[in-house]
């Protein structure tokens, strides 16, 4: 045996030994299978998307947040140009003042007509006494009677004008209040606390009613969708305990619950006559991470992060050591 052949044999033996050692190590480090009573599925972390849109048409004057920014619920994130609305509101408030002055004038008219009715009543009473004594003619009594009726009719008309003036004030105030509401709608507020996913408009653009300015991710309403076969999905109860492990956070076990189980299969073969075909049916589940964990890790949790969700099929099933949560 020459020397070069001996070297090749030694190198081959060394390589073979290393391969066996690495294989044995990987075998030792392989993930253990799930205990009975647990099931798992692959998925991606998803978040509910909420649009910030305008109720009215207008030119976008300001838009603060950028993509990736976090905004609090109720924060003003954009404003529409509202100069025209402010001018209309000033005109409406002036109309309110005019309407209130009209009310004052109509009420003064009522007081005047009441005085006229009082005077006409006294005149009519004196005329009745004088006619009885024969000092004045019957025609004078008829004239005073007509005057009394005219004064009463004038008072009724004056009171009617007060009602019309009050209605005018109410209409002017309603118009002003409507303009105030519309003016308030020019300030676009974040309906939820979340992170800006898309910035859909820029200042200067004219938005139609319903036009979108931003899309927010609701980081407190995240979930992972997984699919389980019929035999396992049928054992999953709503609100049952679950765990999520994200690929980007392998050492972090996220507490979760099952928030949704589809009432019907998602993947259905064309025919389901045999048992093997029925076993192909898959049901969709949503696994929702714990709200407290999401709040504490809102800068870590991102939509689209892949991972594995583990669900408990049996309430008595114990979580393995690698799915235990600290403090539990």
CB-side neighbour CA atoms (13 Å) of 59: 7
Q: Which residue has the higher pLDDT, 267 or 171?
A: 171
pLDDT tens-place string over residues 188-210: 999 999 899 999 999 999 999 99
CATH number of the domain that residue 275 is part of: 2.40.30.170
Read off the CATH number of the domain in which 198 is found: 2.40.50.100
Q: Do residues 246 and 301 share a domain?
A: yes
**Any idea which residue has 């050692």 for tokens?**
21
Does residue 11 sit within a domain? Answer: no
pTM: 0.63
Mean pLDDT of the chain, nearest integer: 81
Q: What is the pLDDT of residue 25?
A: 41
Cβ atoms 154, 116 nearer than 8 A: yes
277 and 258 belong to one structural domain? yes
Res. 123: pLDDT tops 80: no
Q: What is the pLDDT of residue 26?
A: 37
Q: Is residue 74 assigned to a domain?
A: yes
Same structural domain, 174 and 198 = no
Q: CB within 8 A of 202, min separation 6: which ones? A: 60, 63
The total of structural domains in the chain comes to 3
Residues 202 and 68 grouped into a single domain: yes
Tell me what percent of the residues of the chain surpass a pLDDT of 70.
80
Q: Are residues 59 and 208 in the same domain?
A: yes
pLDDT at residue 10 in the model: 61
* Residue pLDDT, tens place only, 265-278: 766 544 444 455 55
The reply to whether 59 and 207 lie within a common domain is yes
Cross-strand partners of 224: 45, 287
Does 101 have pLDDT greater than 70? Answer: yes
Mean pLDDT is lowest, of 161-170, 219-228, 308-317, for: 161-170
d(CA 144, CA 151) in angstroms, rounded, equals 10
Name the phi and psi angles at 306, rounded to 5.
Answer: -75, 160
Mean pLDDT (whole number) for 4-33: 50
Domain membership flag for residue 328:
no
- Based on the fold, state whether residues 151 and 204 are members of the same structural domain: no
14 backbone dihedrals φ, ψ, rounded to 5°: -65, -45
Q: Which domain holds residue 198?
A: 52-81+187-212
Q: Give residues with Cβ within 8 angstroms of 307, minimum separation 6.
A: 42, 43, 44, 45, 224, 244, 245, 246, 247, 248
| 166 plus 231 within the same structural domain | no
């Amino acid at each position: 045996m020459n020397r070069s052949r001996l070297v090749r044999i030694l190198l081959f033996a060394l390589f073979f030994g290393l391969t066996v050692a690495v294989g044995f190590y990987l075998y030792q480090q392989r993930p253990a299978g799930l205990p009975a009573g647990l099931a798992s599925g692959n998925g991606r972390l998803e978040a509910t998307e909420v649009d910030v849109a305008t109720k009215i048409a207008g030119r976008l004057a300001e838009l603060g947040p950028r993509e990736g920014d976090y905004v609090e619920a109720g924060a003003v994130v954009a404003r529409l140009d509202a100069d025209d609305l402010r001018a209309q509101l000033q005109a409406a408030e002036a109309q309110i003042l005019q309407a209130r002055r009209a009310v004052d004038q109509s009420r003064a008219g009522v007081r005047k007509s009441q005085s006229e009715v009082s005077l006409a009543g006294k005149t009519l009473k004196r005329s009745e006494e004088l006619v009885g004594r024969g000092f004045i003619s019957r025609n004078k009594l008829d004239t005073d009677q007509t005057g009394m009726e005219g004064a009463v009719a004038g008072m009724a008309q004056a009171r009617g004008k007060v009602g019309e003036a009050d209605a005018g004030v109410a209409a002017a105030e309603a118009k002003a209040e409507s303009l105030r509401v519309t003016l308030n709608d020019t300030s676009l507020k974040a309906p939820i606390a979340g992170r800006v996913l898309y910035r859909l408009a820029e200042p200067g653009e004219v938005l139609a009613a319903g036009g979108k300015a931003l899309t927010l991710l609701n980081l407190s309403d995240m979930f992972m969708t997984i699919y389980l076969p019929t035999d396992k999905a049928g054992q999953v109860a709503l609100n049952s305990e679950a765990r999520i492990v994200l690929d980007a956070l392998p050492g972090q076990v996220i507490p979760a619950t099952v928030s949704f189980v589809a009432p019907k299969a998602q993947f259905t073969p064309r025919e389901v006559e045999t048992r093997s075909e029925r076993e192909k049916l898959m049901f969709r589940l949503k696994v929702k991470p714990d709200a407290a964990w999401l709040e504490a890790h809102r800068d870590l949790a991102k939509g689209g992060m892949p991972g594995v969700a583990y669900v408990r099929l049996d309430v008595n099933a114990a979580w393995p050591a690698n799915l235990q949560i600290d403090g539990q």
